[in-house]
């Protein structure tokens, strides 16, 4: 699955960013929404469809696609800020080589 935002339609409400901060972000300085993943992981398909259905101006378009998308999911070289912060926080906690998870 892929998702796109029609930036000419976007009303800059930020609803999609609040719903899925790892998938959408608002660009500086105008607040227009952007998609920050190349493809949507399968675990987020329902949430992305929900975000699209809740966009007040119907600016979010979901593109259902063939299998194989998940292999490329997360391949975006520029993650959303919220995602980058999570990775940075995890890196800081993981200085000893084991993060305590099993």
Binding site for ligand SF4 (CB under 6 A): 5, 10-16, 33, 55-57, 59-60
Least Å distance, CB 7 to ligand SF4, is 8
Task: Tell me if 61 sits within 8 A of 9, measured CB to CB.
Answer: no
Least spacing, CB of residue 60 vs ligand SF4, in Å: 5
Query: Which is nearer to ligand SF4, 18 or 88 (by Cβ)?
Result: 18
Which residue, 29 or 56, has its beta carbon nearer to ligand SF4?
A: 56
Distance CA(67)–CA(4), nearest Å, equals 18
Q: Write down the least CB distance from residue 89 to ligand SF4, Å.
A: 25
How far apart CA 59 and CA 18 sit, in angstroms, is 15
Measured CA to CA, the distance from residue 97 to residue 102 in angstroms comes to 13
What are the structure tokens assigned to 20, written together?
């899925």
């Amino acid at each position: 699955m892929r998702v796109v935002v029609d930036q000419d339609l976007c009303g800059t409400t930020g609803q999609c960013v609040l719903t899925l901060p790892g998938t959408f972000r608002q660009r500086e300085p105008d607040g227009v929404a952007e998609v920050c993943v190349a493809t949507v992981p399968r675990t987020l398909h329902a949430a992305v469809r929900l975000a699209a259905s809740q966009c007040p101006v119907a600016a979010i378009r979901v593109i259902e696609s063939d299998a194989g998308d998940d292999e490329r999911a997360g391949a975006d070289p520029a993650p959303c800020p919220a995602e980058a912060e999570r990775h940075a926080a995890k890196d800081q906690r993981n200085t000893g080589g084991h993060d305590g998870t099993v």
